[in-house]
A and B are shown apart, each in its own frame.
Chain A
Amino acid sequence: MVDNFTKTLMSNTLNNDLKEQLVANFQATEGRLNGETKSAVHQTRRAAMQNFETLGFPTIKHEEWKYSNVSNLVKQAFDFSVKTEFGENELATLSIPNLEGNVLYFINGIYNPELSNIVSPESQLQILNFGKAVKENPTLLETYFAQYANYQNEAFTALNTAFAHDGVVINVPAGKVVEQPIILRFITDARSINVASQPRNLVVVGKNAEVKIAEAFRTMGENGAFTNTVTEIVVEENANVQYYKVQNDTEKSYHIGTTQVCQKQNSHFYAVTVTINGGFVRNNLNIVLDGQNCEAFMYGLYFPNGKQHVDNHTLVDHAQPNSYSNELYKGILKDKSTGVFNGKIFVRDGASKTNAYQSCRNVVLSDEATMNTKPQLEIYNDDVKCSHGTTTGKLNDEALFYMRSRGIPKAEAQTLLMYAFCEDVISQIKIDSIKEYLEGLIAEKLAQ
């Protein structure tokens, strides 16, 4: 009889510390679950853990991870106990001004009810933290949890699914327009130790319902942080969802996140992903247009400097006819930073009259910075309109001279031009407090 730990060692010669730690932690956690181990959710967790053990962490030999190397991450030791002293005092230093709406705090991945505030009436919006949802609304989880994000083949998604214990479960009943935005703040407190957290979120937006959701990630402290997050969003018929992902982490942080979206017919989904800071960032945004007459918009902005690495992978799967998707990602790279944009568009053979557009534009301000862009179009239908384009260049010298000739100093002219470059993405953010917060962070980052 070989135990799991030894099996792992045997099955993978590239074994590493983090994987061992995770396996051990999974077993320890399982031991504390008592009766819950028989639940459907836990069966999924267990299956996901097995997948992760088989898959292992991806290396740069894996096509989807060619430019994003996690070899340094997997050698680090992390604390999973998630103890933190974080409270009101710390929050004051990280506050987002004028934040209104339903604001939920997750500290090191764990829901903090004291800091959180839900203002929308329960008739409009049901919000539960994941742990509570497992007990109080198992039907919802059985219907939707892990039905969309690919934990069979994606190592990080498998890992997150195996450790799905906290995060948020949001249910917007059919026909409800949620007036107040939902703002999820994920704060990693790495002041005293390397911290790992794996938030798992599920958002179900019923027929004809509308909601705005923001996920704001923030890391504090000098130690390492590993955040592996998965959010599944189900957009039912004729529903409208605006989704924002905001990242302001630290040089030593690793953020790997997947947002998996399923759209039913006549639905609308808008995503804006803004990466202000982060040592290593990998965002997967996967949208399946599983209905006719859907619209999906994806916008992104990233500003890596120093040695930061930002990788945006998007996938739009046009599974049904007559839908529209459009994406625009923009980046400004400085110093020795690296960026990746990988945009995949699938048009299935039945998906005629598909319109799919993709554009990625970059300004590279240093000879030592690198941007890798890879549009991938796989089209199995003749009756479609698809286009893609990527550009990588410097700031427009003529525009710079024009501004300087009017008295604007060079540095300020550059900042203005960079800000202007971002404007068409920034203007897509429809939650005022988040927009103002980002405008401030972007202005600060560009002036560096």
Chain B
Amino acid sequence: MLTITDLQASVDDKAILKGINLEIKAGEVHAIMGPNGSGKSTLASVLAGREEYEVTGGSVDFDGEDLLEMSPEERAAVGIFLAFQYPVEIPGVTTINFLKTALNEIRKSRGEEPLDAAQFLKLMREKAKLVNIDDSLLKRSLNEGFSGGEKKRNEIFQMAMLEPKLAILDETDSGLDIDALRIVAEGVNKLRSPENAVIVVTHYQRLLDYIVPDYVHVLYKGRIVKSGPKELALELEEKGYDWIKAEVAATM
């Protein structure tokens, strides 16, 4: 589904990603871990098309198409979804209106008929149940005055509505207590299927207790320095990142 080859990116002329290689197939869950400042969120942002990041080398292929050539909205239309680490508050736009516009734009780009109000509401109620999000929240301005947990749940709710092929969860666990974490993780798990894939970007192992990955990659200084099965996450939790740093230092 997704093939990242020697991806390099910088922000304000500072190189952040220095050659990322990653292959993700449908049905898989990949965790990307690493110490602060290693480039995890940059990778998520570059995949979603954030304009402050300049891609300086490499390629990203998504289902046979060049992802890096696409605008953020085109990426959404082909099935990329980024759950934001810090979801943006947008006063004056209700979540319902926002999502209806988004969903129908995506449908339009796929040559599908837009959903009418009744169809949309039916779908919305169905998906709201999945992530246990209240109707009244969705009628309010997008994320405005939402608690941290509500914002993250709203991200997963949007993911449920848009049904992406590849969901990238950027530090979705940050700022969540254990109950909120469980609700969010359960939502993600319900949305997993053999046709879609998930990238979980996280600093801590605890989210991976609930969203169990097939592979764990450690990002350090802009490169993936170690990959392994889900047990690697436990090892990192136990031993921290220092041994990885030492291993990297030894090979350089």
Name A residues whose Cβ lies closer than 8 Å to a Cβ of B.
396-399, 401-410, 412-413, 416-417, 419-424
Q: Is B82 an interface residue (CB 8 A)?
A: yes
Which of B77, B84, B90 contacts A407, CB < 8 Å? B77
Residue contact B101 to A401, C-beta cutoff 8 Å? no
The verdict on A410 contacting B71 (CB below 8 Å), with A402-B87, A404-B76 known, is yes
Question: Does B117 lie at the interface of the complex (its beta carbon under 8 Å from any beta carbon of A)?
Answer: no
Q: Which of B73, B77, B90, B103 contacts A399 (CB 8 A)?
A: B90
Q: Which residues of B contact A398 (CB under 8 A)?
A: 88
Partner of B92, one of A397, A401, A404, A421: A421
A396 to B88, Cβ gap below 8 A?
yes
A401 partner residues in chain B, CB cutoff 8 A: 50-51, 72
CA distance A404 to B84 in the complex (A): 13
Task: Tell whether, in the assembled complex, residue A420 and residue B105 are in contact, meaning their CB atoms are under 8 Å apart.
Answer: no
Q: How far is the CA of A407 from the CA of B98 in the complex (A)?
A: 10
Q: Which residues of the other chain, A, contact B106 by a CB distance below 8 angstroms? A: 407
Contact residues in B for A421 (Cβ distance below 8 Å): 92
B105 with A405: CB separation less than 8 A: no
Closest to A411 in B: B73
B48 contact set on A, CB distance < 8 A: 405
Q: Give the A-B pair count, Cβ closer than 8 A.
A: 74
Q: B189 at interface (Cβ–Cβ under 8 A)?
A: no
Q: Are A404 and B73 in contact (CB under 8 A)?
A: yes
Query: What CA separation (Å) do A419 and B82 show in the bound complex?
Result: 25
Is the Cβ of B84 less than 8 Å from the Cβ of A406? no
A-B contact pairs, 6 of them (CB 8 A): A402-B87, A405-B75, A406-B102, A408-B98, A408-B105, A416-B98
Contact A406 B98 (CB under 8 A): yes
Q: Does B60 contact A (CB under 8 A)?
A: no
B193 interface contact, C-beta 8 A: no
The chain A residue sitting closest to B143, CB to CB, is A402
Contacts of B105 in A (CB 8 A): 407-409, 412
- Decide: A405 near B71, CB < 8 A? Known: A396-B88, A420-B90, A420-B93: no
From A423, which residue of chain B is reached at the shortest CB distance?
B92
Q: CA of A397 to CA of B72 in the docked complex: distance in angstroms? A: 13
User: Are A407's CB and B51's CB within 8 A?
Assistant: no
What is the distance, in angstroms, from A433's C-beta to the closest C-beta of chain B?
Answer: 22
Residues of A within 8 A of B76 (CB): 404-407
B49 at the interface (CB under 8 A from A): yes
Complexed CA–CA distance, A413 and B51 (Å) = 15
Report if B91 contacts A (CB, 8 A). yes
- 0/1 string, B62-92, CB within 8 A of A gives 1: 0000000001110111000110100110111
* From B49, B93, B103, contact of A405 by CB (8 A): B49
Q: How far in angstroms is the closest Cβ of chain B from A61?
A: 41
| Contact across chains for B101 and A423 when beta carbons are under 8 A apart | no
Q: How far is the CA of A397 from the CA of B53 in the complex (A)?
A: 13
Does any Cβ of A come within 8 Å of B198's Cβ? no
